[in-house]
Amino acid sequence: MTKIAFFDTKPYDKTFFDQLSDEKEMHIHYFETKLNENTASLANGYDVVCAFVNDRLTENVIDTLYEGGVRLIAMRCAGYNNIDFKSAFNKIHIVRVPAYSPYAVAEHAMALLLSVVRQTHHSYVRTREFNFSLNGLDGFDLYSKTVGVVGTGKIGKVFINICKGFGMNVLAYDPYPDSNLEGVEYCSFEQLCRRSDIISLHCPLSPETEHIINKESIAQMKDGVVLINTSRGGLVDSQALLEGVKSRKIGSAALDVYEEEGEVFYEDKSAILFDDDTLRLLIAMPNVLVTSHQAFLTREALYNIAQTTITSIREFSEGKVMAHEICYQCAQCRKEPGKRCF
């Protein structure tokens, strides 16, 4: 019986993991708390930890998990910027869900873009109060506008296809361009900033991409640019974004992720004094729309996340190669074919 400590559990996680796991094979204990240095010891005696985007897998957390017997970290997400991979190497294997539904995230990015461009978030509030005035709700056509896509991986490609369906021109920046991608003009990041009416981020968070949207890159952008971030909060320097919105350089912004989201997103903070001034001011801006890291949240994605994670845990328990294992050497993989990372 494989024992799994499941952190940051939400009701929708439990629904799909209970439906797809076999209780004769694995026992899942659902913890509501996030995984961090204060909570890591809860996993003592478990074989596997299942974690999510805002859990913190630091060196100390990994050491505590290892001492407590954990030998697999199963990330039920695609991004993995919150793990100290070097600390885990030779101790705890790590798997993730590389693709569960690029459509979920790309479609949410387009939903955000349409909302901020046509101001449907304001219309919704107005008509609920029987205010049928259109004043101030003017938007613009997406047709024939130039969208700059940063990162042309699985999600970026789906987003590009959606944009093409709207008749938009597509620029892209990716250090590893895909030569098979048709109808897309690759350019430098600076060119993308200078030429795009809309910029949408779809690259991972890494030391190279941290604060890729900053004071300098914002200064290069067109006046009135629309910025969409459904990737990771750390890609954007939030203070620089706020200044860009205040100076009207940025016409509108839609964020599904925020660099300090860890303690905030997924929680009900409506009854407390909210002390993140930057997020408070961003949310207060009429041309900024924030969702709470929900781009992944479709039935299809939740099903695929649970299925892939359970398959990886089964591979681990049976001593098999884990198809979705990752480690810090993956970029220059030295793994023998058919072997685990260590």
Query: Nearest distance from residue 209's CB to ligand NAD, in Å?
Result: 5
**Cβ 315 vs Cβ 340: under 8 Å:** no
Closer to ligand NAD by CB, 166 or 186: give it: 186
Query: Nearest distance from residue 64's CB to ligand NAD, in Å?
Result: 26
Residue type at position 122: H
Query: Nearest distance from residue 218's CB to ligand NAD, in Å?
Result: 16
27 carries an active-site annotation: no
Closer to ligand NAD by CB, 46 or 296: give it: 296
Closer to ligand NAD by CB, 12 or 140: give it: 12
50: which strand partners? Answer: 6, 74
Catalytic residue among 93, 96, 202, 293: 293
Closer to ligand NAD by CB, 208 or 336: give it: 208
Closer to ligand NAD by CB, 40 or 290: give it: 290
Closer to ligand NAD by CB, 17 or 296: give it: 296
Tell me the backbone φ, ψ of residue 202, rounded to 5 degrees. Answer: -140, 30
Catalytic residue among 232, 259, 315, 325: 232
Q: Checking phi first, is residue 186 left (phi over 0); if not, alpha (psi -120 to 50) or beta?
A: beta
Helical ranges in the chain per DSSP H: 11-20, 59-67, 85-88, 102-118, 120-128, 154-165, 189-195, 215-220, 238-246, 277-284, 299-317
> Which residues, including other chains, have CB under 8 Å from residue 22's CB and lie 6 or more apart?
none
248 carries an active-site annotation: no
Tell me the backbone φ, ψ of residue 179, rounded to 5 degrees. Answer: -70, -15
Q: Tokens standing for 18?
A: 């209970």
DSSP code for 68: T
Query: Nearest distance from residue 193's CB to ligand NAD, in Å?
Result: 12
Please tell me the total number of residues recorded for the chain in this structure. 342
**Cβ 251 vs Cβ 224: under 8 Å:** yes
261 carries an active-site annotation: yes
Query: Nearest distance from residue 206's CB to ligand NAD, in Å?
Result: 6
Q: Which residue is nearest to ligand NAD (CB)?
A: 153
Tell me the backbone φ, ψ of residue 335, rounded to 5 degrees. Answer: -70, 135
Task: Give the integer Cα–Cα distance in Å for 145 and 248.
Answer: 19
Binding residues for ligand NAD, rule: CB under 6 A, are 78-79, 99, 102, 105, 150-156, 173-176, 202-205, 208-209, 230-232, 256-257, 293, 295-296
Query: Nearest distance from residue 219's CB to ligand NAD, in Å?
Result: 19
Q: What angle do CA 324, 15, 34 make, to 5 degrees?
A: 65
List, by residue number, the catalytic residues.
232, 261, 293
